[in-house]
Amino acid sequence: MSVDQEVGRGATARPLRPAGWRRYLPYFLLAVAIVNFSFFFPVNRLGADHGFPFFAFVFWYSFGAGIILLGVAAIRRELPRLTRRRLIAYLVSSFLGFAAPFSLLAFVATKLPSGISVLLVILTPVFTYLFSLMARTEKLHWMSIGGLVLGVVGVLFVVVPSDSLPEANMVGWALISLLAPACFAALNVFTELFHPPETPPFALSSGVLLTGALTLLPFMLGTGQLYIFPGPDLDADLALAAAVVINLLMWPIFYTLIKLTGAFQFSIMNIVAVVLGFVWSMVFFAEVHSHYVWIAMALMLLGALLIILRPRRRPAA
């Protein structure tokens, strides 16, 4: 899941306005989503620390959560349809928004401090705006230009100072990690240009997760990362179980919240969740970050907020 994941839908989605007690449902779901998504980062790190191969880890939790959600969708008689347009939406969404970035984050989990991987995900709105300019779905605005500049300066504060990261060889891994928010951003632009048909949350969630698992299967087998569950390490299996639970909650809540609150509120939720994930890196792994990293975090947060809060003016057709 990405920061500003559904920025591209902001112009088309119309939030629902529930009445009575249901008016508080979005706030409850937002709170659950924030806490739930923030735990993805330490769980990812725990799986890597206990030797779970990264392709196998992402495959198993996507497959496990997808199968369970498919069962829920079947009970609700909302099975995902396999039309050509939906299959394309599942394939692109699962690759850009799940298989590629989540595998990358799992891969670098042992290469970088957990907090750094979390921090760089904040740049998703920055990449989204940059790709939107390239696709001509956005116009230049001073707030967005400021956000781009602050995002770039934030990255420089991470990779340039010699004592910003614990080890000098981590600079390359930090730069590679930028591919994760770039993938999330590419998904945003794809969603805006090729808006998929309306699909119930459980059906859409199971479709994306199972397609992601099928996408990862050849990579897992081709790299010799086959992992038979349950495995020899109980802690690794517990990390996998936690990742399955996180995805069971994350994807249906994600698609439900987009309908209930729209893209803007969900973008803010993602940023809060990433900041909380940064805190978990210090709580669970006793990570101590340099003052350069804290400056970078402040700059990236401000840059992301400038882009999210920008006036949404569309170029003429």
Whole-angstrom distance, CA of residue 258 vs CA of residue 253: 9
pLDDT of amino acid 316 = 45
Domain locations in the chain as residue ranges: 7-15+22-308
pLDDT of amino acid 195 = 58
What are the average pLDDT values for consecutive 10-residue runs of the chain, which has 317 residues? 42 50 76 86 85 87 94 89 79 83 83 81 82 79 83 85 80 88 83 67 88 89 81 83 93 79 62 81 82 87 81 54
Whole-angstrom distance, CA of residue 53 vs CA of residue 132: 34
Helices 179-193, 84-94: crossing angle, 10 deg rounding: 160
246 CB burial (10 A radius; 0-12, 13-18, 19+): buried
Whole-angstrom distance, CA of residue 317 vs CA of residue 314: 9
Nearest to 95 by CA among 180, 194, 6: 180
Q: What confidence tens digit (pLDDT) does each residue in 67-118 have?
A: 999 999 999 988 887 778 778 878 888 888 778 888 888 888 778 887 787 7
pLDDT of amino acid 313 = 55
Whole-angstrom distance, CA of residue 169 vs CA of residue 178: 16
Backbone angles phi, psi at 233, to 5 degrees: -105, 110
- Both tokens of 160, joined, read 């340039």
- What is the pTM assigned to this prediction? 0.76
Q: What confidence tens digit (pLDDT) does each residue in 299-313 have?
A: 888 888 887 777 765
Residues whose CB falls within 8 Å of the CB of residue 111, separated by 6 or more in sequence, listed in order: 170, 173
pLDDT of amino acid 107 = 84
CB 265 within 8 A of CB 30: yes
pLDDT of amino acid 73 = 92
Whole-angstrom distance, CA of residue 258 vs CA of residue 26: 10
Chain position carrying tokens 């509120």? 265
